[in-house]
Amino acid sequence: MQEQYVTLAAEGVHEIEINKSRFICALAPVATEAEAQEFIARIRKEHPTARHNCFAYVIGADGGVQKASDDGEPGGTAGVPMLQMLVRREMRYVVAVVTRYFGGIKLGAGGLIRAYGGVVGEALDALGTVTRRRFRLVTVTVDHQRAGKVENDLRATGRDVRDVRYAEAVTIEIGLPESELPAFRAWLADATAGTATLELGGEAYGEG
């Protein structure tokens, strides 16, 4: 599994104008290919009179799913440079749609490649990205007497506390980088005089 990947901070739109042609790049974080297709369909609906709605998306922490479409532009001048920009910037779980309103001046193949790739790059800079790192989900079970201090210490040291449940004992779910597990076990044993239990769960990605 990938140790980390970069994705989009939030959905948004960025526009540039080149030789009277408008290039409007809509970007969105998406979890699945189906979500990417839904976003593309939505943007197409928003721009029914545009000559082209070209798209590219990358799904999977390892970038396993990659698709691009020139949507009527000369082959390889729109979707491919868009996809190349996403891949070069190591973007994952993201979809880009560039809507072009033709301004009457032909840009040529080189001009189109620069425009479509460039507007995606500018949009990524404008909207911002986040790095998600791989975490192991860890469940700590501790008695009520020590739970408050343990939780406070976890939050004070910037740990990714995901859930706290109170029952006969208190269970605290956190996300930990795999490499920190041995040190965390030692800290927990020390902090709770060996009374806490630690259970390893699955893996997930989170900001860190």
Q: Could you give the C-alpha distances from 205 to 7, 63, 65, 127, 134, in angstroms and in order? A: 11, 15, 18, 21, 4
Both 122 and 197 in one domain: the answer is no
pLDDT at 195: 94
Q: In angstroms, what is the C-alpha Rg of the chain?
A: 23
CATH of residue 91: 3.30.230.30
Both 36 and 114 in one domain: the answer is yes
Which of 74, 98, 127 is where one domain is finished? 127
* Beta pairing partners, 4: 133
How much is the pTM?
Answer: 0.75
Q: Which helix (H) or strand (E) holds 137?
A: strand 129-142
Both 72 and 143 in one domain: the answer is no
Both 119 and 154 in one domain: the answer is no
Both 122 and 139 in one domain: the answer is no
Q: How many domains does the chain have?
A: 2
Q: Within a 13 Å sphere around the CA of 78, how many CA atoms are in the beta-carbon half?
A: 21
Local confidence pLDDT in tens for the 208 residues of the chain: 677 889 999 999 999 999 999 999 999 999 999 999 999 999 999 999 999 999 999 999 899 999 999 999 999 999 999 999 999 999 999 999 999 999 999 999 999 999 999 999 999 999 999 998 888 899 999 999 999 999 999 999 888 899 999 999 999 999 888 888 999 999 999 999 999 999 999 888 876 5
CA distance 94 to 90: 10
Both 112 and 199 in one domain: the answer is no
Both 78 and 136 in one domain: the answer is no
Q: Is the sign of the CA dihedral 108, 43, 67, 88 positive or negative?
A: positive
CA distance 143 to 180: 23
CA distance 6 to 88: 11
User: 10 Å Cβ neighbour count for 168?
Assistant: 7
Three-state DSSP class for 192? coil
Both 143 and 158 in one domain: the answer is yes
Both 97 and 155 in one domain: the answer is no
Question: What does the DSSP assignment read for 151-176?
Answer: HHHHHHTT-EEEEEEESSSEEEEEEE
CATH of residue 197: 3.30.70.240
At which residue do the structure tokens 């072009």 appear? 100
Phi, psi of 150 (to 5 degrees): -60, -50
Pairing type for strands 52-59 and 94-101 reads antiparallel
Which of 127, 161, 195 is where one domain is finished? 127
Structural domain for 13, as ranges: 4-127
* Beta pairing partners, 166: 170
Which of 127, 147, 182 is where one domain is finished? 127
Both 119 and 150 in one domain: the answer is no
